[in-house]
A and B are shown apart, each in its own frame.
Chain A
Amino acid sequence: MSEWLLARPELFLSAAGLLLLLVSAFRGQRRAGSVTNLVLMAFALTLGLLFVGPQEGTAFGGMVVADAFGRFMKAMVLVASGLSLAVAPGFWRRAGRAQPEYAVLVLFATLGMMLMIAAHNLMALYAGLELQNIALYVLTAFHRDDRRASEAGLKYFTLGALSSAVLLFGLSLIYGFAGTTCYVGLQVLLASPAALQPGLIAGIAFTLAGLGFKIAAVPFHMWAPDVYEGAPTPVTTFLAAAPKIAALAMLTRLLEQALPGAVSVWQPLIVGLAVASMLLGGFAGLVQPNIKRLMAYSGMINIGTLLVGLAVGPAHTTGIEGMLVYLAVYTAGVVAVFGVILSLQRNGQAIETIADLAGLSKAHPTLALAMGAALFSLAGIPPFAGFFGKYLVLLAAVKAGMVALAVLGVVASVVAAGYYLRIVKVMYFDAPPDEPLQLAPETVTRFVVVLTALAVTLFVLMPAPLMDAAQTTAQSFISP
């Protein structure tokens, strides 16, 4: 029974998902809005369940684990999913595709993410990942009459399936050479260096390649700009925020709880991914005219910085601590940016390019301010919240003796600042064009924008709660 209690948030969410699927099948076609609201309520209740009841332990034969780290990550995923779902309905109404399945699919993707975070066994990891992925493929192509969305969905699916195959191959190699899929077993086995056979090393490399695709780390990033651009903007919002949290949590747990003994194998690989992501994300973003593509590159640079926190290895809790803070503030920043994009229209069309934002500061100063705050936060400029995450992650790198990596990190952040500045420039310095920017009618979207922008701006006044929570979480994660 206690096992069921440990998994109560996931169980509740899956029950709610199944129920809502039935509701939408029978009554929902005209009531997409109320299904969305019900899903949001389910998220809120799940968030509550995370903090009520038994907290620590493994369940179902060590398949899943509940701990402080998982709770932190799951809470972030639920908030990110909730926020990106809350900004969606207006877009779908205008696109003529206001259907209840959208919200339910978001719910199932979120459920998959929670399972990914909780996974303490390679099998559970894969099950969670695929649940998430399949929901995401469908979501990307949800706007089925839109050719670009269908194209993006197909691309995402094909490459996603390929990467899943690579991942599975890696996992099977690990299983073949270690004889277990259980994290605890792997950890015990790898405690002796002799266990690190070539086959296992290859397995770890393939696994990292597969997972690198999921987080769009360079050089496994090719899908990201196309999918970000082609997917409907609410889906892009969701893609940019929640799956990154889940995939990083999963990666962290895999590397630092199952494979700490193989740190000599995965550390250089993660460093390589981090360096490549920061450099390519920084420089390739400089020339992007499309704002959604730009956010894909911005995502790469942020993933690169996050991977620095992972690269410092299990010896330093500051890395994990920084990742947690960074993910939280990154999510808020990304949701704010996409919220602004979703709030605006020109000639009844959703905006696409950076140039579309011209004159925003004059037409809608609050949105421009919010966008500015979110961008400066993403760039890691103090006093905005992004700086605190960047500080922790790079501090960890210096602590671990990776000074060159830290220097690269700060330099990449300057390059990224270059393209964020370009957006600020368009909003504030360029003359507005003839057709004015119109506001989309939904106040919810604007509310989310203002909320997240205030969060990244006012964080500086009271950083202690989040930073303390991240510290205790990271410490309990490394030395339970």
Chain B
Amino acid sequence: MIQGFPFLSFLTFLPLLGVALILALTQRGDAAQARQARWIAFGTSLLTFVCSLALLKFYDPAVPGFQLIEKFQWIPSLNVSYHKGIDGISIWFVLLSGLLSTIAILSGFAVKEKARGLMIALLVLETIMIGMFTALDFFLFYVFFEGVLIPMFLVIGIWGGENRVYAATKFFLFTLLGSVLMLVGIFAMVLHTGTSDMTVLIGTKFPHDMGLWLWLVFFASFAVKTPMWPLHTWLPHAHVEAPTAGSVLLAGVLLKMGGYGFIRVSLQMLPDASAFFAPMMIVLSLIAIVYASLVALAQRDMKKLVAYSSVAHMGFVTLGIFSGRVEGIEGAMMIMLSHGLVAAALFLCVGVLYERVHTREISAYGGVAVRLPAFASYALVFTLASLGLPGTSGFVGEFMSMSGAWQYNKIVAAFAVLGIVLGAAYMLWLYRRVFLGALEKDDIKSLKRLSLREYAMLTPLLVLVIWMGMHPASFRDLFAPEVTRIVAAIGPVMGGGAP
């Protein structure tokens, strides 16, 4: 059935069909129209996610390289093709984008003002995210990579909090500065090889010095996106000011663009330079892990705390990737998937509280568990997953990433453990201050119970978090062969090699 049908393009542009339907069928202004727009958006994104599940069937992990390839001439004068395909790495990000977009749209139901516009922006975001993870031509990749800034800028700027203009502008300019430098790197690659085809570039060996320069410009771009210390300063602002739907996609998917870029471009195309810069990356990752955890401990704002915890988690991702070991990279993949679910869920939990109490100050809460025990149990699972309790999704990735780091250097692993301890500290402390304790504050005493919609957002994430913790193999099996192949291709350089 799949032969000849451009399935990936279908997935990419299906959300735009929802945009067209919203534009055609609803008008601005009245509440009934907004409701219609919401359901259209939810329907299309759910449909996109369900269709994307078919990828699990079509993708065969035993076959190396990219699959479901679509390729045709797009700009002949530049030798640029419209080229799409997935491998064991990118398939997961497509699925994650589909799932989290659906959930983000569901959480966007709570937004009353300009609801129709928010739905359109979220659907456009979904198209761009799926488009980026399936792009196999650098030109196309870049169009999506940078294009994602515009809808996110609008989501933060229009539907964000008080300081939204500052946050949105900072987000836009920071990430734009990173990505335009990547553009220069793309030029150099294109001129060296005569093509922007990523599958060709993966097999190209660049001269040593050129490789180092290229690696640095791509680093600028991905390190801002990931974000790595010290380029993370846009993230707390963006997260705090973004509406819940924006935070979910920002933490869940947009940050993964950086990690994905590190694997796809830095590691696969520039292995020599990656080996050269690996010590720097490891040190930066360790700083990110420890520093961001310490900063998270000091936060009074729930969203900021979760934002800093994201920086720490992404530190484990880069640690795993640049350990260059199979376990490390597999661990990085697991963390990215797990963090996609857990961070999204935590932001949703914060959103649930914020919509009721209208503050994100931790000190305004306390005793929520007494009033909303079911919600508190959900939040507990996500908290434990975030700190990496065995049996939850967070454990597997951190463990594998750490074992990659251990093989790389035992002292590095020792430092990273510190991050895990601190992670447990700030998450448990957060949970205690918000959910436990006596029910004293009036706001909290009168908290409304969760609606069906809110349970519908959180439950799938809960199931997946536990599933991933209990049976990581059902996720790992799909990307492990690809990771092994990647490490086999670059192994000798990074000092690792296949196990």
Chain B binder among A8-16, A404-412, A435-443: A404-412
Contact of A63 with B by CB under 8 A:
no
Question: Quick one: which of B296-329 are within 8 Å of A by CB?
Answer: none
Query: B66-77 vs A: 1/0 string, CB under 8 Å?
Result: 000000011111
Contact with B76, one of A425, A429, A460, A468 (Cβ below 8 angstroms): A468
Which chain A residues border B169 with CB–CB below 8 Å? 418, 421, 425
| Residues of chain A with a CB closer than 8 A to B158's CB | 428-429
CB distance from B128 to the nearest CB of A (A): 9
Task: Say yes or no for A395: interface residue by CB 8 A criterion.
Answer: yes
Interface 0/1 of A53-95, CB less than 8 Å to B: 0000000000000000000000000000000000000000000
Q: Which residue of B lies closest to A321 (CB)?
A: B77
A414 touching B157 in the complex, CB below 8 Å, given contacts A381-B147, A394-B187, A467-B77:
no
Mark out the residues of chain A between 451 and 480 whose CB falls within 8 Å of any chain B CB in the assembled complex: 460, 463-464, 467-468, 470-471
Complex-state Cα separation, A321 to B78, whole angstroms: 11
CB contact under 8 A between A418 and B173, given known A365-B28, A399-B191: yes
Q: Is the interface of B mostly helix, strand, loop or mixed?
A: helix
**Contact partners of A156 in chain B: CB under 8 A:** none
- Interface residue? B262 (CB, 8 A): no
Contact with A along B128-157 (1 / 0, CB 8 A): 000000000001001110110110011001
The interface bits of chain A over 204-227 (1 if a CB of B lies within 8 angstroms of the residue's CB, else 0) are 000000000000000000000000
Asked if A414 and B176 sit within 8 Å, CB to CB, the answer is yes
A118 to B421, CA, bound (A): 74
Tally chain B residues at the interface, Cβ within 8 Å: 35
Q: Residue B188 at the A interface, CB < 8 A?
A: yes
Question: With an 8 A cutoff between CB atoms, is A28 at the interface?
Answer: no
Given contacts A406-B184, A464-B76, A470-B77, contact A383 B143 (CB under 8 A): yes
* Complex alpha-carbon distance, A388 and B144, angstroms: 13
Q: Indicate if A382 sits at the interface (CB-CB under 8 A).
A: yes
- The chain B residue sitting closest to A462, CB to CB, is B74
Q: Please, which residues of chain B bring their CB within 8 A of the CB of A411?
A: 177, 180
Residue-by-residue, is B159-186 near A (CB-CB < 8 Å gives 1, otherwise 0)? 0000011001100110011001101100
Which chain B residues in 11-39 approach chain A with CB under 8 Å? 28
- Contact in complex: B147, A382 (CB < 8 Å): yes
Question: In this assembly, does B461 line the interface, its C-beta being within 8 Å of a C-beta of chain A?
Answer: no
Q: Does A417 touch B at the CB level, under 8 Å?
A: yes
With CB as the reference atom, state the residue of chain B lying closest to A422.
B169
Given contacts A417-B176, A460-B143, A394 and B183 within 8 Å (CB-CB): yes
Q: How far is the CA of A372 from the CA of B142 in the complex (A)?
A: 20
Structural contact, B187 and A395, CB atoms closer than 8 A: yes
- Which chain B residue has the least Cβ–Cβ distance from A403? B184
Decide if A464 touches B75 in the complex (CB within 8 Å). Answer: yes
Closest CB of chain B to A369's CB: distance in Å? 10
**Interface residues contributed by chain A, number (CB under 8 Å):** 35
B190 at the interface (CB under 8 A from A): yes
The answer to whether A398 touches B187 (Cβ under 8 A) is yes
Known: A395-B191, A406-B184, A417-B176. A464 touches B74 (CB 8 A): yes
Interchain CA distance A208-B367 in the complex, whole Å: 75
Which residues of chain A come closer than 8 Å to B190, judged between CB atoms? 395
User: In whole angstroms, how far apart are the Cα atoms of A13 and B108 in the complex?
Assistant: 57
Asked, given contacts A417-B172, A429-B158, A429-B164, whether A376 binds B187 with beta carbons under 8 Å apart, the answer is: no
Of B77, B165, B177, B180, which one neighbours A429 at CB under 8 angstroms?
B165
Majority SS of interface residues in chain A? helix
* Whole-angstrom distance between the Cβ of A447 and the nearest chain B Cβ: 19
The answer on a CB contact under 8 Å between B157 and A429 is yes
| B151 to A: closest C-beta gap in Å | 11
The interface centre, meaning the residue of B144, B164, B172 with most chain A CB atoms within 10 A of its CB, is B172
Residues of B within 8 A of A417 (CB): 172-173, 176
CA gap between A365 and B172 in the complex, in Å: 22
Do A381 and B165 touch across chains, with their CB atoms under 8 A apart?
A: no
Cα–Cα distance between A392 and B77 once the two chains are bound (Å): 10
A398 touches B173 (CB 8 A): no
Q: How far is the CB of B227 from chain A (nearest CB, A)?
A: 17
Q: What B residues does A418 contact at CB under 8 A?
A: 169, 173
Q: Determine if B191 and A398 form an interchain contact, defined as CB atoms under 8 angstroms apart.
A: yes
Q: Whole-angstrom distance between the alpha carbons of A471 and B76 in the complex?
A: 10
State in angstroms the CA–CA spacing of A153 and B87 once bound together.
Answer: 62
Q: How far, in whole Å, are A346 and B149 apart by their CA atoms in the complex?
A: 32
Q: Is A331 at the interface (CB under 8 A from chain B)?
A: no
Looking at the assembled complex, report how far the CB atom of B159 sits from the nearest CB atom of chain A, in whole angstroms. Answer: 10
Contacts of B153 in A (CB 8 A): 421, 424
Name B145's closest neighbour in chain A (CB-CB).
A382
In the assembled complex, the Cα of A383 lies from the Cα of B76 at a distance in Å of 18
Interchain CB contact under 8 A, B183 and A410: yes
In the complex, what residue of chain B is closest to A463 when comparing beta carbons? B75
CB nearest neighbor in B for A471: B77
Return chain A residues, CB-CB under 8 Å to B177. Answer: 411, 414
CA distance A135 to B164 in the complex (A): 47
A-B contact pairs, 17 of them (CB 8 A): A381-B146, A381-B176, A382-B144, A387-B143, A394-B184, A398-B184, A398-B187, A406-B187, A410-B180, A421-B172, A424-B153, A424-B154, A425-B169, A429-B158, A463-B75, A464-B76, A467-B77
B residues lining the A interface (CB < 8 Å): 28, 73-78, 139, 142-144, 146-147, 149-150, 153-154, 157-158, 164-165, 168-169, 172-173, 176-177, 180-181, 183-184, 187-188, 190-191
Known A-B contacts: A381-B150, A381-B176, A467-B78. Give 14 more (CB < 8 A). Answer: A381-B147, A382-B143, A387-B146, A391-B139, A392-B78, A395-B187, A399-B191, A403-B188, A414-B176, A414-B177, A418-B169, A428-B154, A429-B164, A468-B77
Closest 9 A/B residue pairs (Cβ): A410-B180, A382-B143, A471-B77, A398-B187, A467-B77, A429-B157, A414-B177, A395-B187, A382-B147
